[in-house]
Structure 1
Amino acid sequence: MADDLCFFFKDNLILKPQKTSSLLLRIIVLVCAMLCGVYICSVHLKRISAGTKDEALSVQVVRGQCLVPHVEPWEKPYVHYPNPETFRRDECACHPVRSFAILSTQRSGSGWFETLLNSHTNISSNGEIFSVKDRRSNISTITETLDKVYNLDWLTSASKRECTAAVGLKWMLNQGLMQYHEEIVEYFKSRGVLVIFLFRRNHLRRMISILANSYDQNAKPLNGTHKSHVHSSHEAEILAKFQPTINTTLLIPNLRQVDEMTTKALEYFRSTRHIVVYYEDIIKNRTKLDEVQDFLRVPRIKLTSRQVKIHKGSLNEQVTNWDDIEKTLRGTPYESFLNADYKL
């Protein structure tokens, strides 16, 4: 059409004077160039728009393929693809993530156990989050906190961010867990949360550790600083010097209370997918950590921790009234606690 216009004006220009003809010709050429430019731009814009739609569809298709083919059908409820609000997972967007919770009691080796898990390149365990009372004030605050953790939006020094393959937290039984157990069980089942129970078989050792830790909170023998866990033998030796005196009148009721609480927790959460791990078993046999890694479906690697054990050796060396304790526990269901359960 542009050519026809040029020919039409060309015929008319022959009848005009030279100057007018030249000026009109320039104007016509300019107009034709502008029309051609507008046409070309419109064509390209349509193609770009179509390409953008195709690209969006392509992204949606890729995201739709996040269900990895090798995941077994029974395992699919436990495989997640979080979409964090605080960062982008980039190349790991389709890398599956499993959610977990370590359910334990204070001074059962949970801090040490968590550092072992966090030494794995793909595991992020975010600590004792519900030690803060406001986060466990009701079931709504609990689930809001859990949602943030399992969506990878709870950022701590343990977070592996975009390439996390297993994300979780450490949760003590007395931090709202037993109080709201029905709602939490339903949440765990609906969200496919894997439960790791970590307990101590010898509740007497745990009691000694609790009393020693309580003393350290008040006395602060390490240069005026309270430390629940230490990273040097020197610090461990200083804290181990304290020997508590156990109230033998309350000893059996206290041991029974812990026994009942752990038994009740196992009963409450038995319908979840779970594994039970004992501190003593990990001390004696590190292959137990392989079982935990298999449970979380992460590659097996050697897990390490910088924490140094504080209380070592025989129990009779760790308290001031061993004879009284021995007399109290002999002939009771807790007599086995008097025996050495592992060597260090």
Structure 2
Amino acid sequence: MAEDLCFFTKESLAIKPPKKNTLVLRMVVLILVMICGVYICSVCLGQFGVWSARNSLAVHVVERPCEVTEIEPSEKPYVHFPKPKTFSRDECACNPVRNFAILSTQRSGSGWFETLLNSHINISSNGEIFSVKVRRSNISTIRETLDKLYNLDMLTSAAKNECTAAVGLKWMLNQGLMQNHEQIVEYFKSNGVSVIFLFRRNLLRRMISILANSYDQNAKPLNGTHKSHVHSMHEAKVLARYKPTINTTLLIPNLKQVEDLVTKSLQYFKSTRHIILYYEDIITNRTKLVDVQEFLKVPQRDLHSRQVKIHKGPLSSQVENWEDVRKTLKGTQYKSFLEEDYKL
């Protein structure tokens, strides 16, 4: 009876063994997955490293410095391979470029000479960039301006293309050049800038041109406009009508002042690579332009200009008080200026 009243049998009291714990198995699988992941990542990183190395090598080849073997060793300091920030030189990246500067004085034919140079497809002369005072305010701004110019990043009407072979400017002696001559000479020499001196032999003709140009700035006889240079015979005749009166008291001191300025500039910049030209020589002997192209190491071309000369003929027909001028200069070191120095 007691057995019948028992609610539990032996079978019901038998304890079943617990299910096998899978935690350890899961941990093992997780560890294996992590190991496989690390291995796969290491393989990928290794391949990426090889790819990066190959790419780096390719970039290194592209950035390799340009070399032109046919250039003489003495000329290499004057050869440059600029990398403009404003455009790409493309296939001309390894075409050598020469830096130059035309040093001159106002009304010495530099504007006409520059148009001759710019008629050459490979020459870019960018005018009087230092006529802007802020660019010549100190040696730092001068250097910054020159750096921009010689890196082909100065966009002017004279800017050519990516295959420019010679780049430069026209720099007047009174535009910060003489005041900072020591630092500028240092810059020219360290940056391989070649100097083209351009002056007038006959300083009296230059004075007449300056006085006439000054009159034109105020009178503006060409339909109310001022033109330092003209491109038609009609315009030249209109401007040539004016005959200045020269102050004979100041004539000789003024001529000497300009003469001394030119002499000083030649002295200051004599250590640079340079060539000396005179306006009258270019007028009478166009082979001088061949010399200039040889100096700049550019292909020889026929150079031309659209500018028309304003003052022609003997000086006696261009000055109002010619007889006074003649008497003042006669018997002096400047008497040769009275003679006709060239014919057109």
Q: Distance in 2 between matches of 1:152 and 1:95?
A: 13
SS in 1 for 2:82: coil
Which residue is equivalent to 1:208? 208
Structure 1 residue 126 and structure 2 residue 126: aligned? yes
Q: Distance in 1 between matches of 2:226 and 2:67?
A: 47
Q: Distance in 2 between matches of 1:188 and 1:333?
A: 34
Cα deviation, residue 50, structure 1:
5.2
TM-score scaled by structure 2? 0.85
In the superposition, relative to structure 1, how do residues 134 and 57 fare at CA in structure 2: closer, same or farther (>3 Å)? closer
SS in 2 for 1:162: coil
Amino acid at match of 1:58: V
Which residue is equivalent to 2:236? 236
Which residue is equivalent to 1:52? 55
Q: Distance in 2 between matches of 1:159 and 1:81?
A: 17
SS in 2 for 1:341: coil
Which residue is equivalent to 1:89? 89
Amino acid at match of 2:67: L
Amino acid at match of 2:322: W
Q: 5 Å matches for 1:1-344?
A: 49=52, 51-60=54-63, 63-64=64-65, 66-344=66-344
Cα deviation, residue 67, structure 1:
2.0
Question: 8 Å contact 1:185–1:272 — kept in the other structure?
Answer: yes
Amino acid at match of 2:199: F
Q: Distance in 1 between matches of 2:83 and 2:173?
A: 29
Q: Distance in 2 between matches of 1:78 and 1:67?
A: 13
What do you get for the CA RMSD once the two structures are aligned?
Answer: 1.7
| C-alpha distance after superposition, 1:226-281 (max 9, x if no partner) | 00000000000000000000000000000000000000000000000000000000
Q: Distance in 2 between matches of 1:57 and 1:203?
A: 56
Amino acid at match of 2:124: S
Cα deviation, residue 112, structure 1:
0.2
Cα deviation, residue 48, structure 1:
5.3
SS in 2 for 1:163: coil
SS in 2 for 1:167: strand
Amino acid at match of 1:77: P
Larger radius of gyration: 2
**Runs of 5+ in structure 1 lacking a partner?**
1-37
Q: Distance in 1 between matches of 2:54 and 2:261?
A: 61
SS in 2 for 1:307: coil
Percent identity between matched residues is: 74
**Runs of 4 or more off by more than 4 Å in structure 1?**
42-51
Q: Distance in 1 between matches of 2:128 and 2:56?
A: 45
Which residue is equivalent to 1:25? none
SS in 2 for 1:161: coil
Question: 8 Å contact 1:103–1:170 — kept in the other structure?
Answer: yes
Question: 8 Å contact 1:152–1:161 — kept in the other structure?
Answer: no
TM-score scaled by structure 1? 0.85
Q: Distance in 1 between matches of 2:272 and 2:56?
A: 43
**Runs of 5+ in structure 2 lacking a partner?**
1-39
Cα deviation, residue 58, structure 1:
2.3
Q: Distance in 1 between matches of 2:314 and 2:217?
A: 24
SS in 2 for 1:262: helix
Cα deviation, residue 55, structure 1:
1.9
| C-alpha distance after superposition, 1:100-129 (max 9, x if no partner) | 000000000000000000000100000001
Cα deviation, residue 56, structure 1:
1.4
SS in 1 for 2:162: helix
Q: Distance in 2 between matches of 1:253 and 1:299?
A: 43
The number of aligned residues is: 304
Q: Distance in 1 between matches of 2:261 and 2:194?
A: 20
